[in-house]
Amino acid sequence: MTQPERANDLWADFRDALKAGVSETNWDTWLSRLEPDADGDRIVLVVPSEFHLRWVQDKHGDLVEGAYRSVFGTDAEPIFRVGEMLSSELTLPLDTEEPGPDSAPGRETGEGSAPTKATNLINRYRFESFVVGQSNRFAWAASMAVAEQPGAHYNPLFIYGGAGLGKTHLLNAVGHQALEMYPDLVVRYVSSENFLNDFIESIRRKRPDDFKSRYRGVDILLLDDVQFFEGKEQILEEFFHTFNSLYESGKQMVISSDRHPRNLSTLEDRLRSRFEWGLLTDIQPPDMETRIAILRRNAEFAPRPVPVDVLEHIAGLVSDNIRELEGALTRVTAWSALNRRDIDLETAERVLKDIVTSDEPVPLGPETIIRTSAQAYGFSVEDVLSSSRRQPLVLCRQISMYLCRELTDLSLPKIGEHFNRDHTTVLHSVEKVKRILRSDRAVFDRVNQLTQELRKGGGVSTGS
């Protein structure tokens, strides 16, 4: 047998092993599209896009690894590369005993097929540029599933979360990805505000059918910021019919909102309940690691290198809004470009010092935090500050302390003073709440909402 023949056999074995491990759909959509390439004496698995790579690793990583090892040798690690597909004859190496340790030299894919229809999609919001972390993993996975098989899984997919956390990005990514896989689909991204404007315009021009065909004739409707519809009865009525029409014909909807449907208070129940028919998923503020990963990704495009300690500094300053996070990085890189100087921690600190303090309204103080938390739990401020140990008062008190720790830069003893307690009690409470947050969704939601409220408008107290 010649080398290429043997390589072809090995590749066929590998494919068989994969095929045996997944459903036909998964095989057709994902694994059958892996192609082999030779890199020195290693076999590289070439995938069509970064999105594809992530999906394969996430969903079928173990299978691929097992199959790879069983065919190419027990020490072999599958190596991936994003790139154009080979269709020429295989020239795989025979000797696969010692694959090198390097990981795939991932290359960016070129642009996907450019959407020709008026999709309104924002070009740069793609899965490829979406950094996945704990805070958004579920929303991301659901979005990918929807993009892969529109209308088949979750309808609607409803994504909610605070400003700047990636909702618009994900909606657009679904559109791009679905079009890449199914170029004939009709995809439309629209903000709720533009949906309303289109509607008004169609009435003004006495062309209601234009509006209907525009929005009811799509395969995927990506409707952003649906909280905008609150209290606007006529558009709610119209959207209700659009929703039903799309739903009944199995068309996919992905809807975003800054809050859970239950908190869209002026929405009629019939619409609210429809939002819950499919899958509801939230996006949380990113943790430190994700923030750094996002910054690192953005920094790749900076004209001058951004040192890691600068990225960490920025990630430490901005925690609950990715747009602001990117904004802070942009200001630092802009400063360095303007001054033709490399970026270092000291300059970054100086540049961001102004920005952070001037952007911040009035500093948030413990009084406001205590008052707001007490209200949320139906207690008085006196209750929270009292020595009573009954539940759920204790929890409310602990959450207030936790929020003081998170949202102010007061020291533990200083916070303790506000609660007539010592710093070890504060520390204990903070740690306790952190643990509860990881296990109790209701508390998590409550704390999250309080945080958002306080950050948004709470800064009226004189503080410490």
Q: Is residue 455 part of the contact set for ligand ADP (CB under 6 A)?
A: no
Stretch of 4-12, 130-138, 148-156, 336-344 contacting ligand ADP, by CB under 6 A: 130-138
Q: Kindly give the interhelix angle for 393-407 and 366-377, rounded to the nearest 10 degrees.
A: 150
State the binding partner of 136 from ligand ADP, Mg ion, none, CB within 5 to 8 A by kind: ligand ADP
Shortest distance, CB of residue 455 to Mg ion, whole angstroms? Answer: 17
Size of the site for Mg ion (CB under 5 A): 2
Report the site for Mg ion in 145-204 (rule: CB under 5 A): 167-168
Distance CA(130)–CA(346), nearest Å, equals 29
Distance of CA 30 to the CA centre of its chain: 22
Q: Is residue 10 part of the contact set for ligand ADP (CB under 6 A)?
A: no
Shortest distance, CB of residue 160 to ligand ADP, whole angstroms? Answer: 9
Shortest distance, CB of residue 332 to Mg ion, whole angstroms? Answer: 24
Size of the site for ligand ADP (CB under 6 A): 16
Out of 7, 131, 196, 396, the residue judged to bind ligand ADP by CB under 6 A: 131
Report the site for Mg ion in 22-51 (rule: CB under 5 A): none
Report the site for ligand ADP in 312-371 (rule: CB under 6 A): 322-323, 326
State the binding partner of 296 from Mg ion, ligand ADP, none, CB within 5 to 8 A by kind: none
What are residue 53's phi and psi, to 5 degrees? Answer: -60, -45
CA proximity to 127, closest of 54, 56, 69, 32: 54
Report the site for ligand ADP in 212-271 (rule: CB under 6 A): none
Out of 136, 252, 284, 368, the residue judged to bind ligand ADP by CB under 6 A: 136
Q: Is residue 281 part of the contact set for ligand ADP (CB under 6 A)?
A: no
The residue (of 168 and 400) whose beta carbon lies closer to Mg ion is 168
Shortest distance, CB of residue 242 to ligand ADP, whole angstroms? Answer: 21
Stretch of 165-173, 200-208, 230-238, 447-455 contacting ligand ADP, by CB under 6 A: 165-173
Out of 49, 168, 202, 451, the residue judged to bind ligand ADP by CB under 6 A: 168
Q: Is residue 291 part of the contact set for ligand ADP (CB under 6 A)?
A: no
Q: For 342-425, where are the E strands, in sequence order?
A: none
Out of 165, 196, 332, 364, the residue judged to bind ligand ADP by CB under 6 A: 165
C-beta atoms surrounding 396 within 10 Å = 21
Distance CA(137)–CA(325), nearest Å, equals 19
Shortest distance, CB of residue 169 to ligand ADP, whole angstroms? Answer: 3
The residue (of 83 and 164) whose beta carbon lies closer to ligand ADP is 164
Shortest distance, CB of residue 457 to ligand ADP, whole angstroms? Answer: 18
Q: Is residue 169 part of the contact set for ligand ADP (CB under 6 A)?
A: yes
DSSP bridge partners of 47: 82
Sign of torsion, CA 303 305 307 312?
positive
Distance CA(107)–CA(382), nearest Å, equals 60
Instruction: Quote the tokens at residue 163.
Output: 């400003």
Contacts of 396-401 with CB under 8 Å at 24 or more apart are: 397/429, 398/429, 398/430, 398/432, 398/433, 399/373, 399/433, 399/443, 399/446, 399/447, 399/450, 400/366, 400/369, 400/370, 400/373, 400/374, 401/425, 401/426, 401/429, 401/430, 401/433
Distance CA(303)–CA(322), nearest Å, equals 21
Instruction: Fill in the DSSP letter of residue 219.
Output: S
CB 52 within 8 A of CB 108: no
Chain residues that interact with Mg ion, rule: CB under 5 A: 167-168
Q: Which residues bind ligand ADP (CB under 6 A)?
A: 125, 129-131, 136, 163-169, 294, 322-323, 326
